[in-house]
Amino acid sequence: MQPNFLIVMVDQMNGPMLDPDMIDFLHIPNMRKLLAKGIKFNNCYTPSPLCTPSRGSFMTGMLPSRSGIYDNAAEFKSTTPSFAHYLRDMGYQTALSGKMHFVGADQLHGFEERLTTDIYPADFGWTPNWENPLERVDWWYHNLSSVTEAGIAEISNQLEFDDEVTYNAKLKLYQYARRIDTRPFCLTVSFTHPHDPYLARQKYWDLYDHGEIPMPKVPFIDYKDQDPHSQRLYDANDFRRFEVNEEHIRNARHAYFANISYLDDKLGEILQVLEECEFDQNTHVLLCSDHGDMIGERGLWYKMSFFEYSSRIPLVLYSPNTFSPREVNTPVSNCDVLPSLIELAQGDLNQLVCDIDGKSFIELAKGHEDEQRSAYSEYCAEGSIEPMVMIRKGDYKFNYSLSDPVQLFNLVEDPNELTNLASAPEYKNLVDSFTEEMHQRWDLTTFKQEVMHSQRCRTLVDRANRKGHFTPWDFEPPVNGRNRFMRNHMDLNIVESNNRYPKV
């Protein structure tokens, strides 16, 4: 019998939150239960530290350089297969409740159903411009107001959205339980928290002692002492216009932790329905994030960086009656989700219709670590001036672009990434080895040309589409109230029987 899948994706939760020195501070009883019986991947990395390209890689198993999903306004082509396409072709019901930030006219990408609209736009309006890469686009770039205005809110765009995501996910599980359609299911539930703005409900704020909120391990680093990309991020976030003090930082981090607890409640609600519907023994549960958040480390906020708080993300797999609980230290990536799901669904990875960059992590879940395995990441969006790439392998992280100094960090000895080893003579052979691996995977000159061509095309299309009548691509969930509940063209006996669980 094919298993079911429940995939829960959160937004902008960093991996260090689940490290031993942080997890004990968090109020996350449901995540703890999942961690206690599942596989925790300690070194999972985002394929790109930004929403749309990361989610595109999560869906397709491809890095942005292969898929063309370079930034938050890059099209996810309808011809690119996603894990939803593969699973649906294998006989699965596929549904999405929540965010996936698909850009383009295709707003399904293999999902048979979408249960909510998205929280972000589907058009090309947020296209970066590498013709003038250092220009700040104020109307859609981040600024630091999320930090200076952090605090308590009982409702916000984000809270309204995630409340709706949870309601629809639970309802969908109940619909699956009624077994009107007996196919196995893959339900993806994708939240927008703990993404900024840093606003939390009082209930979750009060779980934490404000005075005990952990502050950044690496405090503010002056602009002149930052590496070139971090300087660009300071500029992109308009840091000169804001005075961020210690209380602002504490408030923002307090709200961030509180919103992780809010998500934990939502996860608990969904897992409870999964158990009530007797799916818990035949459903693989995957908990993941798209990218992290610097939450003030080094003076940086949000994502867009290869530093650990931005690029390392949670990944937990619970597979009942399949794997023993353990922690995996081999680096993996969200690109690895697609082949892993197909393997768990008893599919043939040799039958993929196009090349991908991901590798199944199922052997790792069985306890077979792989010291030769690398995780890759790319960044091509706001705050960058050309493609940036990252390799994580063994104890080391290697960051490279044609314009910036090479970076090499030993993450075991230097987890805060304060000592760049790239120019140290004793590391020359290691830098050469990483450089060779980088050149085998990427032609950065061609990569830049392809990104800029995409930017120019999208900018023209968006400008033209906004002249005259504008037709948005944003997804609008269909609601057919004429066929819900009880209507006179239905047999009352059948309606009541079909919609009851457990069955009589």
Catalytic residues: 51, 101
Structure tokens, 207? 């779980």
Burial letters 373-402, b for 16+ CB under 10 A, else e: bbbbbbbbbbbbbbbbbbbbbbebbbbbbe
Q: Which residues contact 100 (CB under 8 A, 6 or more apart)?
A: 55, 59, 109, 118, 188, 190
Helix H or strand E encompassing 199: strand 199-200
Q: How far is CA 69 from CA 52, 54, 101, 334, 368, in A?
A: 7, 9, 11, 14, 32
Q: CA-CA distances (angstroms) from residue 230 to 46, 236, 334?
A: 18, 10, 24
The Cα–Cα gap between 114 and 165 comes to 11
Closest CA to 231 of 377, 378, 383, 380: 383
d(CA 382, CA 128): 6
3-state helix, strand, coil in the chain (%, to 5): 40, 15, 50
Q: How far apart are CA 41 and CA 18, in angstroms?
A: 10
In whole angstroms, give the CA distance from residue 478 to residue 108: 13
- Measured N-to-C along each axis, helices 246-276 and 157-177 cross at an angle, to the nearest 10 degrees, of 10
Number of CB atoms found within 10 A of residue 291's CB: 32
Token code pair at residue 196: 């900024």
Minimal CA–CA distance to 48: which of 75, 67, 80, 71?
Answer: 71
